[in-house]
């Protein structure tokens, strides 16, 4: 298979996968692809040295019992045959998957790459080579299309990328343009044996069904060259995305407000100019957000297309503070025309948006966390004051019967078990149910200010007071409650608790 050897050597040169000075770690499972990878890299090195040193790495997943042990022994013997050092480890992938509530495939992949990285560092390798082939790439693209993906997912695998965004180690795929049938033919001609993973034939796994059932069906009934078509789609998508990504990275520097973030580095928080970000086309906005996520060292796969769309919706609320957490990985906040993104998790139960604060009556109480102020004024009912107040009030102003108030009052955010009697309703209701009935988004609920008396809510700010403190014909003295932003006149709280 001299032609295949030449093809792989050409791919190594064209994509600069590694050079004569590189130390390469080969991920070898014992399967056909990884054994062929080992043989082809050694062949390439004999003809024209492509790298300085080669090492073998094998992770025993302990998934298939005796078969897994035999795989490990096979790889060890193979490394000895070619006089290569082997780094081997064992990890209980089933237990890790259960513990982290992941699929076996996802857990195996994550642990495999963690192992490759640690093994590479142990031997001083700066390149990790794996045996993904053209069939794998076609299956991956189709898999992503079926499950739902964007232009990045359709792009498929890359022949070369950084192991992680800030890693000094490259991950390369020398066989990415080689078809599985040619790999099997190469192994047969070279008389190289390999292991067969019995789980590859189990059709309970979605990916296996694509390989064993869907692609053969498409080839037979729709397009015999469907895999080539998928690869072509991937290449086209990759070219388009590379262009868009270059444009977005140029814009990233313009919208980024962190001085310390002007160079590529991991940050704890990223601040973006909302006005400038909104001027960019939406596809570039999304790629800019992805760049921010990368800078925060959050795995891109943790956030979906829908998550990015939801974050972009925040731009429509630029005049209002917003606090939101995306899937527990990313904290999103807007303030004064700035979009704040941070990896720090935000849980209202542990770190309330507003700590319980005693309200001055009468007087003004500054709320440092929310940069707002609550004002309390005591007034007599005379000279048509109440009627004028009702005409001019916003939903952030309320008048209640002062004689029904038990001082002190406090302001805080919701707590489990909170109840009150919404004005005009038939009786007591849980605050949680009130939020649901009024269609207040889940993530907004933990940031809605609540004025309390004797530990119980009497005013859900911006929504409703408690019926038991309402003004009646017998009311003689009023307590006027107002909520406003400290830096402005009036009551610009309108929508301040909105959350995407």
Domains of the chain, first to last: 2-228 (3.40.50.620), 256-342 (3.30.465), 357-485 (3.50.40.10)
Burial class (CB in 10 A: 0-12, 13-18, 19+), 92: middle
Residue 325's pLDDT is what?
61
Alpha carbon distance 370, 285 (integer Å): 28
Cα dihedral: 144, 150, 156, 162 (round 10): -120
Q: What is the pTM of this model?
A: 0.67
| Residue 164: Cβ within 10 Å count | 14
Band (261; pLDDT cuts 50, 70, 90): low
Q: Are 64 and 93 in contact (CB under 8 A)?
A: no
What DSSP state is assigned to residue 20? T
| Residue 484: Cβ within 10 Å count | 19
Helix locations, 29-164, DSSP H: 32-47, 66-81, 93-100, 104-123, 134-147, 151-154
Alpha carbon distance 143, 334 (integer Å): 36
Residue 19's pLDDT is what?
86
Percent over 70 (pLDDT), the chain: 88
Q: What is the mean pLDDT of the chain?
A: 86
Q: Which two tokens stand for residue 233?
A: 């789609």
* Greatest mean pLDDT range, 120-129, 259-268, 327-336: 120-129
Average pLDDT estimate for 69-75: 95
Alpha carbon distance 65, 14 (integer Å): 41
What DSSP state is assigned to residue 347? -
pLDDT over 50 (residue 491): no
The verdict on whether omega for the bond into residue 408 sits within 30 degrees of 0, i.e. cis, is: yes
Which residues lie below 8 Å from residue 359, measured CB to CB, with a gap of 6+? 365, 374, 376, 408, 409, 410, 411, 451
């Amino acid at each position: 298979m001299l032609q295949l050897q030449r093809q792989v050597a050409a791919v190594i040169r064209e994509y600069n996968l590694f050079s004569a000075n590189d130390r390469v770690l080969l991920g070898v499972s014992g399967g056909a692809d990884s054994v062929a990878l080992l043989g082809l890299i050694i062949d390439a090195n004999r003809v024209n040295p492509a790298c300085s040193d080669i090492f073998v790495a094998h992770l025993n997943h302990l998934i298939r019992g005796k078969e897994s042990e035999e795989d490990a022994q096979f790889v060890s013997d193979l490394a000895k045959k070619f006089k290569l050092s082997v780094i081997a480890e064992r990890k209980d992938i089933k237990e890790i998957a259960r513990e982290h509530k992941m699929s076996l495939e996802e857990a195996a992949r994550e642990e495999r790459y963690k192992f490759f990285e640690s093994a590479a560092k142990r031997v001083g390798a700066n390149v990790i080579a794996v045996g993904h082939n053209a069939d794998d790439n076609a299956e991956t693209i189709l898999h992503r299309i079926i499950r739902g993906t964007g232009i990045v997912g359709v792009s498929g695998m890359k022949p070369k990328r950084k192991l992680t965004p800030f890693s000094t180690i490259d991950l390369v795929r020398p066989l990415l343009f080689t078809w599985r049938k040619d790999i099997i033919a190469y192994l047969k001609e070279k008389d190289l044996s390999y292991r067969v993973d019995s789980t590859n034939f189990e059709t309970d796994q979605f990916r296996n069904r694509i390989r064993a059932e869907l692609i053969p069906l498409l080839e037979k009934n729709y397009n015999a060259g469907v895999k080539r078509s998928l690869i072509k789609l991937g290449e086209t998508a990759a070219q388009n995305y590379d262009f868009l990504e270059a444009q977005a990275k140029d814009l990233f520097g313009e919208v980024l407000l962190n001085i310390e973030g002007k160079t590529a580095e991991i940050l704890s928080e990223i601040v973006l100019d909302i006005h400038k970000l909104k001027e960019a086309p939406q596809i570039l906005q999304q790629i800019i957000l992805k760049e921010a996520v990368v800078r925060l060292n959050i795995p891109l796969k943790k956030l979906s297309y829908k998550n990015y769309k939801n974050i972009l919706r925040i731009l429509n609320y630029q005049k209002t503070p917003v606090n939101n957490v995306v899937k527990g990985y990313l904290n999103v906040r807007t303030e004064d025309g700035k979009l704040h993104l941070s990896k720090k998790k935000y849980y209202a139960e542990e770190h309330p948006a507003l700590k319980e604060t005693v309200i001055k009556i009468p007087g003004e109480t500054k709320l440092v966390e929310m940069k707002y102020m609550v004002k309390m004024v005591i007034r007599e009912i005379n000279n048509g004051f109440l009627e004028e107040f009702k005409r001019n009030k916003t939903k952030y102003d309320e008048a209640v019967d002062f004689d029904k108030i038990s001082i002190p009052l406090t302001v805080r955010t919701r707590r489990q078990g909170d109840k009150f009697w919404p004005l005009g309703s038939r009786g007591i209701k849980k605050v949680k149910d009130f939020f649901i009935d009024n269609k207040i988004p889940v993530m907004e609920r933990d940031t809605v200010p609540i004025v309390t008396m004797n530990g119980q809510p009497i005013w859900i700010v911006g929504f409703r007071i408690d019926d038991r403190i309402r003004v009646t014909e017998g009311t003689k003295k009023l307590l006027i409650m107002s909520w406003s932003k400290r830096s402005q006149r009036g009551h610009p709280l309108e929508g301040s608790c909105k959350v995407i």
